[in-house]
Amino acid sequence: MSKPTTINNILVIRFSSLGDVVLTTPVFTKLRHFLPETKISVLTKNQYQDVFLNNPHINEVLTLDQQENLTSLISRIRKNKYDLIIDLHSNLRSHLLGLTAGVKVIRYNKQSLNRYALLHLGTGNQKLNKSVVERYLETLNFLGPQQLHPETKIYLSEKEIRTARALLENNGLKPADIIIGLNPGAKWETKKWPLLNWVDFLTMCRNNKMKILLFGDDNDLAFISQIVKEMGNSRDFLVNLAGRTDLRQLMALIKQCRLLVTGDSGALHIAQALAVPVLILLGPTVPEFGFIRSNQDDAILYKDLPCRPCSLQGANYCKRSDRICLAGITAGEVFETMQEQMKVKFASEPVNELPVKGKING
């Protein structure tokens, strides 16, 4: 596509989910770099609008309420008279919006057929050689060569940082403490590291004088409560924040961690957008799908099994019934990798390779 002669008003669409919304942020950086005077708006679901708070590259955040019908949404979009729509969701709703807006639409290529081939046929992974962020940025090729690094970014205010630090101090944590964030929950059961693995890992953290922040939303409360119960009296080293934070508070608290241990989750992408190292426990999904990005200080733990990948986004049951892809990752492996990462994080020499650990036969 050639560059339109005049672009005064752009709308970027990504409705959900949390991690995918965070992954759009490099698009706004590049748009602002090439179009400094253009009004840039984003349309997302209500619950994700805070991802874009304080972002200097965005002029307006439009939100979609669950109760709003398509006719009302189309009417709102048409009234704003956009010159260009960039569709980063590419689903039925966003396609209908684009078709009725009466303007040029550029859509993100989801690589759905190649993902299907990898998931169901075990082929096509050689074609899935770009991350979702890179494919998002390909929608902007009409602006010129890709010169900017595809780094995600969340912008926290000083007040938010101060509030997070005060909360930690009120819970007995000191600035000198080694604070590790854990995000044990997941939308899908097959993406959860098992309960006893978390308990073993937490025991190692306690024995090594580390302080722990447990993160999760309301849907994770039951699982995280089980973990806390198994740990017994844990107030000396563990602060359970599950269900106690809104999205911005979660972001500010993750920023206080030296490292976040998590599965394939929205918290993972938040941490990366805040330059917090992550240790990713990867089960039924694989990096080739494009959702998992690895920064220099990150690590991925996974088991190389013939049944992986078994789902694109996770599932509620394991076809093998043993969830070995995650159950086979031991607490010792996780703790050892975390120690290596923290040495990397504070070492003077750069590290060029991403640690990838652990293989078992299945």
In terms of pLDDT, which residue wins out, 2 or 50? 50
Instruction: Indicate if the pLDDT at residue 103 is higher than 70.
Output: yes
86 and 177 in a single domain? The answer is no
In the chain, the N- to C-terminal Cα span, in Å, equals 47
* Residue numbers of the domain that contains 78: 9-108
Contact 282, 263 (CB under 8 A): yes
* pLDDT value of residue 296: 81
d(CA 132, CA 20): 8
191 and 287 in a single domain? The answer is yes
Query: 41 lies in a domain?
Result: yes
Classified as helix, coil or strand, 19 is helix
Please compute the mean of the pLDDT values over residues 221-240 and round it to a whole number: 96
In terms of pLDDT, which residue wins out, 357 or 62? 62
Paired tokens of 308: 């992986």
pLDDT, tens digit, for every residue of 207-227?
A: 999 999 999 999 999 999 999
Mean pLDDT, rounded, of the chain:
86
199 and 294 in a single domain? The answer is yes
Query: 156 lies in a domain?
Result: no
The region, left, alpha or beta by phi > 0 then psi within -120 to 50, assigned to residue 142 is alpha
d(CA 91, CA 76): 19
- The residue among 108, 130, 152 that closes a domain is 108
Query: 39 lies in a domain?
Result: yes
Please compute the mean of the pLDDT values over residues 297-305 and round it to a whole number: 89
Q: What are the backbone dihedrals phi and psi of residue 114, each rounded to the nearest 5 degrees, phi first?
A: -70, -35
Window from 130-134, 207-211, 269-273 with minimum mean pLDDT:
130-134
Query: 143 lies in a domain?
Result: no
Per-residue confidence band for 355, with pLDDT thresholds at 50, 70 and 90: very low
184, containing H or E segment: none
* pLDDT value of residue 117: 57
* pLDDT value of residue 112: 53
Instruction: Indicate if the pLDDT at residue 348 is higher than 50.
Output: no
Instruction: Indicate if the pLDDT at residue 308 is higher than 80.
Output: no
356-357 vs 299-301, strand pairing mode: parallel
Query: 144 lies in a domain?
Result: no
Instruction: Indicate if the pLDDT at residue 120 is higher than 70.
Output: no
190 and 68 in a single domain? The answer is no
Instruction: Indicate if the pLDDT at residue 333 is higher than 80.
Output: yes
Per-residue confidence band for 313, with pLDDT thresholds at 50, 70 and 90: low
* pLDDT value of residue 310: 63
222 and 251 in a single domain? The answer is yes
Window from 66-80, 106-120, 172-186, 322-336 with minimum mean pLDDT:
106-120
298 and 194 in a single domain? The answer is yes
Please compute the mean of the pLDDT values over residues 47-64 and round it to a whole number: 98
Instruction: Indicate if the pLDDT at residue 28 is higher than 90.
Output: yes
Instruction: Indicate if the pLDDT at residue 357 is higher than 50.
Output: no
286 and 204 in a single domain? The answer is yes
134 and 66 in a single domain? The answer is no
265 and 247 in a single domain? The answer is yes
Query: 52 lies in a domain?
Result: yes
Measured between alpha carbons, how far is residue 288 from residues 122, 130, 269 in Å?
Answer: 12, 8, 16
Most confident of 240-249, 275-284, 322-331: 240-249
Please compute the mean of the pLDDT values over residues 90-95 and round it to a whole number: 93
190 and 289 in a single domain? The answer is yes
Predicted TM-score of the model (pTM): 0.88
Query: 83 lies in a domain?
Result: yes
Buried b (16+ CB within 10 A) or exposed e, 229-258: eebeebeebbbbbbebbebbbbbbbbbbbb
Domain count, the chain: 3
* pLDDT value of residue 356: 45
324 and 273 in a single domain? The answer is yes
- The residue among 65, 88, 108 that closes a domain is 108
Return the CATH number at 280. Answer: 3.40.50.2000
Query: 149 lies in a domain?
Result: no
Per-residue confidence band for 352, with pLDDT thresholds at 50, 70 and 90: very low
Please compute the mean of the pLDDT values over residues 225-251 and round it to a whole number: 96
In terms of pLDDT, which residue wins out, 305 or 74? 74
* pLDDT value of residue 362: 36
* pLDDT value of residue 175: 87
Please compute the mean of the pLDDT values over residues 228-237 and round it to a whole number: 95
117 and 171 in a single domain? The answer is no
- Percent pLDDT > 90 in the chain is 68
